[in-house]
Structure 1
Amino acid sequence: MADLEERATVVASDSRQAGAGVVVRPRRADDLADCVRVLGDVHAADGYPAEWPDHPADWLTPDGLLAAWIAEWDGRLTGHVGLARSAPGDVAPALWSHHTGGPPELTTVIARFYVAPTARGHLIGARLLSCAVAHARALGLHPVLDVLATDTAALALYRRLGWTHLGGDDRRWASGRTVSVHCFAAPRG
């Protein structure tokens, strides 16, 4: 585990060189209050998450979470990404398996990914994804994700970064709401 944390820190250090004042590092427990605050800003601006969780700090730490990172810009938390084992009902691992022939257990899910509205346009999202992808690969796993079809900015980001579109699906949430999602896989590395 220490070796994986060291690799994540190396990736984060490399990210620091890519832009002035931006640092990507592993998330600590004492970051959660700021993560929730920024998530609230994202929710107000973009509607992500589409259904506000009753306990946002718990939502940011789902079962199966393997690791999480935050981005800081000039000392302020500006973004978050998690890497988790797939949960029941996750479509992206099954679609990846169908496309590649590999078992879905060889995937990991990019989760709880967001960047503060005021910090966009500075490659922060790309840096966060880079850390998560590098960590997944160090674990021998292939990163996948899903995104709401209505989140056009996120869809554009994944396409711009070379993620492979695996397909789409409609999901019925516990609230009764039906949403359309698109699933992606990270570029082969």
Structure 2
Amino acid sequence: MNSEHRSGPSTSLRVRRRTDPDLGECVRVLAEVHERDGYPVNWPDSPDIWLTPSKLVSAWVAESNGRVVGHVGLSHSGEADAAPAVWSARTGAGAEATAVVSRLFVAPSARGLGIGALLMEQAVTTARDHGLHPVLDVVSSDTAAAALYERLGWRPLATVEQIWGPEQAVSVRCYTAPAAP
């Protein structure tokens, strides 16, 4: 699904499926985000592989005037995802009924244009089209991301601690998407 939006007199935004040739630009933008915001917390050895997890359903990029400025992925639930288990415990439905929104980032130079919201809308729509309930995890210290999710109507489920390595425990907030319209 491609969607086009106008953000101002000289800005054209488009969300489209990510293709393999986009990965280099996605890694470049991710590096800018990591340098500015510390996302991801641990820089991956192979960022292109990190952007393409094994349980990926689909991924999209946002373009502004033809240049990749954002990314989001949608995956089936995996062992490292906290939100599906929390949602499952709350609802009684299996974690396999969820889709995890992940790898969302927007270039620092392109923020304030609604790109994050457009990418989230694409991921949520696709999850629901597959009959899945969207959930996500976010590192508790990422208050800007949490603020975006809450502005978009996402509801916090719980804050849990995850073990990311022998000496790294991380607090993550689990969210569930707003009810379908």
TM-score, normalised via structure 2 length: 0.94
Matched length: 177
CA shift, 1:71, in A, is: 0.3
Give the corresponding residue for 1:148: 139
Amino acid across the alignment from 1:153: A
Amino acid across the alignment from 1:82: G
Residue deviations 1:67-104, cap 9 Å, x none? 00000011111000000011113210011112222111
Given that 2:136 and 2:175 are in contact with CA atoms closer than 8 Å, whether structure 1 keeps it comes out as yes
Between 1:71-80 and 1:95-104, the stretch displaced more is: 95-104
Q: Which runs of 5+ in 1 are unaligned?
A: 1-8
Does residue 122 of structure 2 align to residue 131 of structure 1?
yes
Give the corresponding residue for 2:68: 77
Given that 2:6 and 2:12 are in contact with CA atoms closer than 8 Å, whether structure 1 keeps it comes out as no
**Aligned equivalents of 2:60, 2:80: Cα separation in 1:** 24
**Aligned equivalents of 1:17, 1:122: Cα separation in 2:** 10
Residue deviations 1:1-56, cap 9 Å, x none? xxxxxxxx1xx32xx13534110000000000000000000000000000000000
Does residue 81 of structure 2 align to residue 87 of structure 1?
no
Does residue 9 of structure 2 align to residue 23 of structure 1?
no
Amino acid across the alignment from 1:146: D
Q: Secondary structure at the match of 2:5?
A: helix
Q: Secondary structure at the match of 1:121?
A: coil
Q: Select which of 104, 109, 133 maps to 2:100.
A: 109
CA shift, 1:174, in A, is: 2.2
Give the corresponding residue for 2:150: 159
RMSD: 1.1
**Aligned equivalents of 1:154, 1:45: Cα separation in 2:** 14
Give the corresponding residue for 1:3: none
Which structure dedicates a bigger proportion of its chain to strand? 2
TM-score, normalised via structure 1 length: 0.91
Percent identity, aligned pairs only, is: 51
Q: Which runs of 5+ in 2 are unaligned?
A: none
CA shift, 1:60, in A, is: 0.4
Given that 2:87 and 2:157 are in contact with CA atoms closer than 8 Å, whether structure 1 keeps it comes out as yes
Give the corresponding residue for 1:121: 112
Q: Select which of 155, 159, 163 maps to 1:168.
A: 159
Given that 2:157 and 2:173 are in contact with CA atoms closer than 8 Å, whether structure 1 keeps it comes out as yes
Amino acid across the alignment from 1:176: E
Amino acid across the alignment from 1:69: W
Give the corresponding residue for 1:58: 49
Give the corresponding residue for 1:179: 170
**Aligned equivalents of 1:82, 1:102: Cα separation in 2:** 23
